[in-house]
Amino acid sequence: MLTKNRYSIKQMIQWTRWELITFIMGAILVAVLYQILGFTFLKVPWTPVALIGTAVAFVIGFQNNSAYGRIWEARKIWGGIVNSSRTWGMKTADMISNEYADQSASPDELKESKRILVYRHIAWLTALRHAMRQPRRWEVFEEAHTNREWSKVIHIPEREHSLEDSLSPYLSQKEHSYTQSKNNKATALLYLQSQHLKRLKEKGLLWEFSFLELENLLEELFTLQGKSERIKNFPYPRQYATLSYVFVRIFLVLLPFGIVPEFGRIGQEFINAFPLIGEYFVWMAVPFCVAVSWVFYTMERIGRTGENPFEGSANDVPISTISRGIEIDLRQMLDEAEEDIPKQFAETLYVQM
């Protein structure tokens, strides 16, 4: 556990290294101006700086709580998708049969119907995860250089493969063309599922009660899709995000002008008892200023990157690996050969920083 914590801190420092360098240079500059060049007028009373810091702490806390709430809700939604997907595979496997059919279908025909329903569900998962990765104008994760570095490390599949190519293995050419013609492709695929179930019911291959059960499951998938789309399409209120961003930077600018003179005053108080320490005590303001600045900035940035849980950051909901995990489970339930089942996405590692 200690090793993991050290690794996370190391990653976080690497993630914010350019800002950390800025904090160090800024604190040293103010200390040089104040102590060496004698610009003692470059000071801000510590009380208003502390009050601003307190207000900023509340704002950042609210932002981080809200961002975590959005991430946790998104994770619960995709947890529901996992459960409903497994249920879909189980019910289609057991409920499609010749028990109530007027004209029996061959075992191969029944197996093919089950395969189509499962594959179309995998296509739905694929379309939904691609939709969740589509950029929105309020998503700013990729604007930071270090964030772009993380995106390259975790290899987001939806940015490396087009939706059209990703859907091809799971759909017939006709269904693929139909789906591509619709704006909301995930919804179109659920419509196709419902129509397929209706045809099976009319042939007697699906009992009416079983038909209602599977239709209710489709309704649940529609609900989960809508909840996921709600988080994607409704951003964290921009007035709060903007104010948090601005307030933190105001505080970071004022902080060295408050800390450096304060440490200089403390040094003067015991310069008679400890001359050497008292003379150079003002330089202790640099590490303290850097530490406080880094903590406030990092907390604000964590909240900012957590606002959009499907954006593709290192801390968002791993919908790519979740979808591929569901696919592996469903295709194993179809008793497919192991070499035909795709492996989990390589390098899609969502590191908790």
| Residue 150 burial (C-beta neighbours within 10 Å; 0-12, 13-18, 19+) | buried
What 3-state DSSP class applies to 271?
coil
pLDDT over 80 (residue 198)? yes
In order of 10, 175, 338, the CA distances from 79 in angstroms are 30, 28, 25
Q: How do residues 132-163 score in pLDDT, each as one tens digit?
A: 999 888 877 767 777 777 777 777 888 888 99
Whether 200 and 117 have beta carbons less than 8 Å apart is answered as no
pLDDT over 70 (residue 123)? yes
| CA angle at 160 for the pair 159 and 165, rounded to the nearest 5° | 105
Asked if residue 347 belongs to a domain, the reply is yes
Confidence of residue 164 (pLDDT cuts 50, 70, 90): very high
Range ranked top by mean pLDDT from 4-13, 92-101, 173-182, 254-263: 173-182
Asked if residue 352 belongs to a domain, the reply is yes
Identify which has the larger pLDDT, 17 or 120: 120
| Residue 276 burial (C-beta neighbours within 10 Å; 0-12, 13-18, 19+) | exposed
**What is the percentage of the chain residues whose pLDDT exceeds 70?**
94
**DSSP state letters, 159-193:** HHS-HHHHHGGGS-HHHHHHHHTSSSHHHHHHHHH
DSSP 33: I
Asked if residue 286 belongs to a domain, the reply is no
Pull the structure tokens for residue 129.
């995860």
pTM of the model: 0.84
Whether 89 and 333 have beta carbons less than 8 Å apart is answered as yes
Please compute the mean of the pLDDT values over residues 237-246 and round it to a whole number. 84
Range ranked top by mean pLDDT from 5-9, 82-86, 238-242, 317-321: 82-86
**Total number of domains constituting the chain:** 1
Q: How do residues 51-70 score in pLDDT, each as one tens digit?
A: 999 999 999 999 899 989 99
CA distance 205 to 191: 19
Q: What range does the domain containing 174 cover?
A: 84-235+316-353
pLDDT over 60 (residue 269)? yes
Asked if residue 112 belongs to a domain, the reply is yes
pLDDT value of position 251? 94
Asked if residue 285 belongs to a domain, the reply is no
User: Measured over all CA atoms, what is the biggest interatomic distance in the chain, rounded to whole angstroms?
Assistant: 104
pLDDT over 60 (residue 261)? yes
Q: How do residues 3-23 score in pLDDT, each as one tens digit?
A: 445 546 777 777 788 889 999
